[in-house]
Amino acid sequence: MIRMRVDFFSESLAMGTSAVVLLPQSAAGQIGLDAPAPQGAPPVLYLLHGLSDDCTIWERRTSIERYASDAGIAVVMPEVRRSFYVDEAVGEKYWTYISEELPEIIGRSFRVSQAREDAFVAGLSMGGFGALKLALIHPERFAAAASLSGVVDLAGSPIVSDPRFGNLAERVWAGADIAGTADDIPGLLRAAAPGSLPRLYLACGTEDSLIDANRAVIELARERGHEPTVSLVPGVHEWGLWDREIRAVIDWLPIRER
């Protein structure tokens, strides 16, 4: 694949930011890879990082490049710091950036498909929350979304008030109640009409502290007629699990024959 780290100015953030982009490339002559020759503009997976990470983390902890190469898809890995994919109360407008500006920049700058059926989003932990938020608020833009060990219920999560994470409650939400807002994943699921959402994939380790919240959201999604694909497997909040799961997610994506 073609791999690049791109640095650019964001109007939404009013500052420079970065992303890592992978683009399909025929690799018939490269030992150990048998990537298909690109046919037209490839599908694109927006792959979101977690609370302690940056735009390079998926590459450094998983074999995402190899999995994407086999599937013939582009991957965009943006950087959002500890924003929880929100327009921060005290900080930057990361929701506006990730939901509006970034797709426009990618579409203008790279030859990737602009069709809804070729657009996917996935993420881990904080990024799992971001992936579900994008899919639930903008179902018209994505064909599939995956949350790996996602923080799927912020209103009930101790992470929000944990001082190790930079006073998230005050900085991001100004201490406001998250329930009933655009950051309330269970609330968004309840409001979504059955059949209106992209395909959903929810995974979590059964020894992860987030497992109870994930089980509750899975059950709620089923009750609301959304029928997610579910992978609850032995494991904790760690990269071995996420490496296995992102490979499974890419195999699960509804990638069209090209």
Question: Which of 68-77, 140-149, 150-159 shows the lowest mean pLDDT across its residues?
Answer: 150-159
Residues in the chain: 258
**What is the per-residue pLDDT for 201?**
98
Q: Amino acid identity, residue 144?
A: A
* Structure confidence at residue 159 as a pLDDT band (50, 70, 90): confident
Given a cut of 80, whether residue 156 has pLDDT beyond it is: no
**What is the per-residue pLDDT for 167?**
83
Give pTM, 2 decimals: 0.96
Domain residue ranges of the chain, discontinuous segments joined by +: 2-252
- Rounded mean pLDDT of the chain? 94
Q: Are 152 and 133 in contact (CB under 8 A)?
A: no
Task: Report the alpha-carbon distance of residue 79 to residue 84 in Å, rounded.
Answer: 11
The CATH fold of domain 2-252: Rossmann fold (3.40.50)
Q: Are 2 and 30 in contact (CB under 8 A)?
A: no
Helix/strand/coil for 34: coil
